[in-house]
Amino acid sequence: MSFGARILEQCDALAAISEDASILTRRYLTAEHRRAATLIAGWMRDAGLAVEIDALGNVVGRRAGARPDAPRIVTGSHFDSVVNAGRYDGIFGILCAIAAAGDLAARGVKLPHAIEIVAFGDEEGVRFGFSMVGSRALAGRFDPALLDRRDAEGTTLRDAIVAFGGDAHAIPALSRAHHHVAAFVEVHIEQGPVLLDRNLALGVVTSIAGSTRIAARVTGLAGHAGTVPMGARRDALTAAAEMTLFVESYTAASRGVLVGTVGKLAVAGGGAINVIPGEVALTIDVRAGRDAERLAAVAAIERECRAIALRRNVALEWANLFELAAAPCDERLQAALAASVAAQGIEPFRLPSGAGHDAMEMAHVAPIGMLFVRCGNGGISHHPDETMTAADANLATHALVHFLAHFDAAAMAATAAQ
Ligand SMILES: [Zn+2]
């Protein structure tokens, strides 16, 4: 059986471990997290790795290098899911790495550097409302105040860690900040249609997009839909609609540099068919691979929205909710991954990642690289229709094996230290 076919079987087995029998939902520190961790740990052992489930429920597999002093490569992804998830998001990067390590072991290949495969217990953040618990901790950036956050049932993260058999006091010790990590490399399903549209199985990620999230409120004046003349209205919804269309046209004109979304647009009280909307709340999400371009876009969007508000005689409140810097992928890792993609007979195409990933956090302790694998079905993800072919899964595994075998971790660490 090919690596790809085997990995897809493993994805099916993991997809069956769900909190809800009819859909795939696997949140952090649940009984399903435990069952999935046990399964992954077993596969890691089969691949010859030394395995540990750490204090936060991450599953960590290690393969020693020939030189104990050599810096290590860390790879992996997450095995929690969104509600009603697809079966390859996150999981694939873990299983691909395990297959690659198993192949090196089966062929008796001894590399100078150690390989550490991390299956992160939380990336999506569904249960406690903030994401990347595992990679935050490994990056040495876990804020202890987050331990008091509660899930929908009122359980704190601290209590959930204890119930799982973990140890919140051990979180600082999980940091890889002083562990001499040469690189963090994550393989992930693309979650979009770019590779599919270009007929490419694999792609090299240039940068993980940063994002700005804005909450805006437009306040006009509610009025009778029959009696207020069109020229005298202060309609909050038409103003918000004009702002929404501006977000779309401005980001679309950037030709791939920016993406912008108005994801929520709500008339206060739900609105009524015979009332001019007096108040509308909307959210704006802007992302880009480079921070300067994103910040310039956010400023331009705010300027135009204020001009729209002025012209339409409505008030505009504007609040920046959230700001996340982009995480550029290391040029040397991009080149190395491109060579590994080319070695599979695939044109090494480069693309940004619009979605966030564990690599964003790991970028704080090591240079990062990401390999994307084609997503079928039009690129749909975070959805049960998410697909990947066994052939693509196989190519990704061969590319990762090539990368791990050819990468010069010592040279990478030496230049990083300069
Ligand atoms: Zn993911």
226-269 tens-digit pLDDT: 999 999 999 999 999 999 999 999 999 998 899 999 999 999 99
- CA–centroid distance, 89 to ligand 1, in Å, is 5
pLDDT for residue 69 = 85
pLDDT at 418 over 60: no
How long is the chain? 418
417, pLDDT greater than 70:
no
Torsion (CA) 40, 43, 47, 49 in degrees, nearest 10:
40
Distance of CA 61 to the CA centre of its chain: 21
Residue 255 Rama label (left phi>0; alpha psi -120 to 50; beta): left
CA of 167 to the centre of ligand 1 (A): 25
> Within a 10 A sphere around the Cβ of 256, how many other Cβ atoms?
12
289 Cα: distance to centroid of ligand 1 (angstroms): 17
Say if CB 183 and CB 412 are below 8 A apart: yes
Cα of 403 to ligand 1 centre, how many Å? Answer: 21
Q: Quick one: pLDDT at residue 416? A: 61
Per-residue model confidence as pLDDT tens digits over 35-83: 999 999 999 999 999 999 999 999 999 999 999 888 999 999 999 999 9
Q: How far is the CA of 34 from the centre of ligand 1 (A)?
A: 19
Cα of 163 vs centre of ligand 1, distance in Å, is 25
Determine the distance separating the centroid of ligand 1 and the alpha carbon of 319, expressed in angstroms: 28
Ion ligand 1, residue ranges at CB < 5 A:
89-90
Q: What is the pLDDT, as a whole number, of residue 154?
A: 97
Quote the ligand 1 centre to 349 CA distance (angstroms): 21
**What integer pLDDT is reported at residue 178 of this predicted model?**
86
Distance 379 CA to ligand 1 centre (A): 14
- Taking the centre of ligand 1 as the mean of its atom positions, its distance from the CA of residue 169, in whole angstroms, is 27
- What is the C-alpha to C-alpha distance for residues 336 and 329, in angstroms, rounded to an integer? 12
C-alpha radius of gyration, the chain, whole number: 23
DSSP, collapsed to helix, strand or coil, labels residue 404 as helix
Alpha carbon 2 to chain centroid, angstroms: 27
C-alpha dist (Å) from residue 122 to 161, 165, 171, 185, 285: 12, 16, 14, 18, 23
Predicted confidence at residue 410, as pLDDT, reads: 76
Q: Give residue-wise pLDDT tens across range 155-198.
A: 999 999 999 999 999 999 999 998 889 999 999 999 999 999 99
Q: Identify residue 340 by its one-letter amino acid code.
A: S
The domains of the chain, with CATH numbers, are 3-208+326-417 (3.40.630.10), 210-324 (3.30.70.360)
The pLDDT of residue 391: 98
**Rounded to the nearest whole angstrom, what is the distance from the C-alpha of residue 265 to the centroid of ligand 1?**
27
pLDDT number for residue 214: 96
- Rounded distance, CA 106 to CA 405, Å? 14
Concatenating the DSSP letter of every residue in 200-253 gives -SEEEEEEEPEEEEEEEEEE-B-EETTTS-GGG-B-HHHHHHHHHHHHHHHHHT
Separation of alpha carbons 81 and 121, rounded Å: 9
Name the helix (H) or strand (E) containing 399. helix 390-406
Average pLDDT taken over every residue of the chain:
96
Query: Residue range 9-15: average pLDDT?
Result: 97
Dist CA 293 CA 301 (whole Å):
12
**What digits encode the pLDDT tens for the residues 128-146?**
988 999 999 999 999 999 9
CA distance 223 to 86: 45
76, containing H or E segment: strand 72-78
Q: What percent of the chain has pLDDT over 90?
A: 93
How sure is the predictor about 287, in pLDDT bands with cuts at 50, 70 and 90? very high
> Could you read off the pLDDT of 82-97 as tens digits, one per residue?
999 999 999 999 999 9
Residue 394 — φ and ψ, nearest 5°?
Answer: -70, -45
